[in-house]
A and B are shown apart, each in its own frame.
Chain A
Amino acid sequence: MIRFYHVYQSYQKDVFALSDISFTINPGEFIFLTGPSGAGKTTLLKLIIREEVPKKGQILVNGQNVSSIPVSKIPRLRRSIGVVFQDFKLIRSKTVFENVTFVLKTLGIDLKERRRRAHNVLKMVGLQHKTHFYPLELSGGEQQRVAVARAIVNDPVLLLADEPTGNLDPDRAADIMALFEKINRKGTTVLVATHDRDMIQRMRKRVISLTAGRLDHDSGSQVQVEES
């Protein structure tokens, strides 16, 4: 599903946010990406959705080389990936419903169907009663859950979540992780970046850990599927 091959990324000359990263994630896996803040977790996720282009190395996502795909193919790539951004990235001038269903609207899905799907995912994150609120009328934790709802509304093949429980109390956090597991069981590959050690220990999943831009530990794949 995802393969990094000697990937380097830097923002300033000779200061590498990521250096020599190689790993393979098989379809259907559930992985934690961990490491102290500043380790390069967000940067790694940005490379996967081609928000950034690596300085060196190759990245394959769902069979496509994202470091060299044409710009015109980027939207389709991103639509196949659900992302919970660390800073949520909700559109302030749109309601929760509009935020969650924006991409569905561009795909020509009619209002009735959009309502149905939005209702489903908002219920999963416990926000069905805030459908017509604007992001700024919600708490940080609620905004984060809207971001989760938006990430899963289009049944992505890959779900990326950047500190998705950072603003949630432990019970809510556990709910969201349970939701991710459920989605994972339905076949979606899930990659969660977090520095929450307790959660990682509780969940017993594959862990890839970064330190200062280097991959220092990979607990190894538990799902054995060959990627063609």
Chain B
Amino acid sequence: MSEEQSGLANGAYEALDNHNAVLRVRGVTRAFSRPNGDPLTVLEAVDVNLNKGEIVGLLGRSGSGKSTLLRIVAGLIRATSGQVLYRGAPLNGPADGIAMVFQSFALFPWLTVLQNVEAGLEAQGLGREQMRERALSAIDLIGLDGFANAFPRELSGGMRQRVGFARALVTDPSVLLMDEPFSALDVLTAENLRTDFLDLWTENKLAIQSVLLVTHNIEEAVFMCDRILVFSSNPGRVTAEIKVPFKHPRNRLDPRFRQLVDDIYARMTVRAKTGAATVLSIGERLPEVPTNLMAGLLENLAAEPYHGRADMPAIAQALALEVDELFPMAEALQMLGYAELVSGDILLTPLGHEFTEAEMQARKHSFAKQLLTRIPLAAHIKSVLDDRPGHRAPSVRFLSELEDHLSDSAAEQTLRAVTMWGRYAEIFTYDDEAEAFSLEIPESEQA
């Protein structure tokens, strides 16, 4: 249903904005090759227009290919098929006029603020005075006056990201790409930087014509963007396109703002819900969530004021969690049958209630049972260990199995998750030094 909606919306925008587009992504697909040589499709047939005067948000779960799309637009990697049209021609490598802001700031630690910003002009072939002058004016613009001669390590996170912005803005780009630029900052600093950037944007102080912003954070997307594209995972596709009809500056407490945030939460949990109904496969990606966090979330859900049902944005805020922290936790609970996700709400199952009331050993029993019945990978490891005479198996054995279904990093993450959970449930143990799973619990762990 949502597929249809978005298809319709896409068509309408295309007709409307075609002449207005600064940059167009046409049918972009990207696959990475797996260790065994098979392709792993990360992005499939993605179409995006960046129009003049618009901030476009890319929203989606971890691993849905948002960064991959951004890097294709930046010219850092190639699309397997499809193309990016910029200034009327297909993009071919990093282009003049497309600048990027990084999540990790990506500043050169051995250069001063001024030198870092000047590095943005390095490829421009300007004279030294000219470079200095433009760098200083970008530094002024972004509110870093007085820090020109400081080294990045002397600055706070927020100040460092300001340098990242200055370096991107100094070239007067027409397209600005940002990959989770605020997610490494604390809440207050992030908000401060967002509003400062939006002020420059709305006051037309920037040469930038269009911004593409990757984020995990639904509130951030609604706060900043004019249009939000929601990505699905495996492979990444645009499943919905949402217009944000509010003028800047936006008020987060406005009921219409809250309603839109809730809507998007609901949309993003749709897939997870169908996932729970179907049986998981061995190659399912498992979120790497520590068991004590799961227990903590369950306890919170069971207690006041939620009594077993919570609005996800609300509980995320109450527990001071970012969405991208809450989602994997909720997903893990859902996989294990302790919780359900229903239209932006998380609700405890009877099993989840039982778990919160049990004491430690009973919790472990419950967890072991859920793990073996609901997570095929855990059951698989257990049965292999049962069958083997020595009850030991090297972890590479399972890792290579997982790599048939997942990318390297996802496979490793999944194996780490199942190791962590299996150890807690005491269904098997893992010897880090030998890199092997085994059934016997070593003496030190028994005690």
Whether A and B are associated in the same complex: the answer reads no
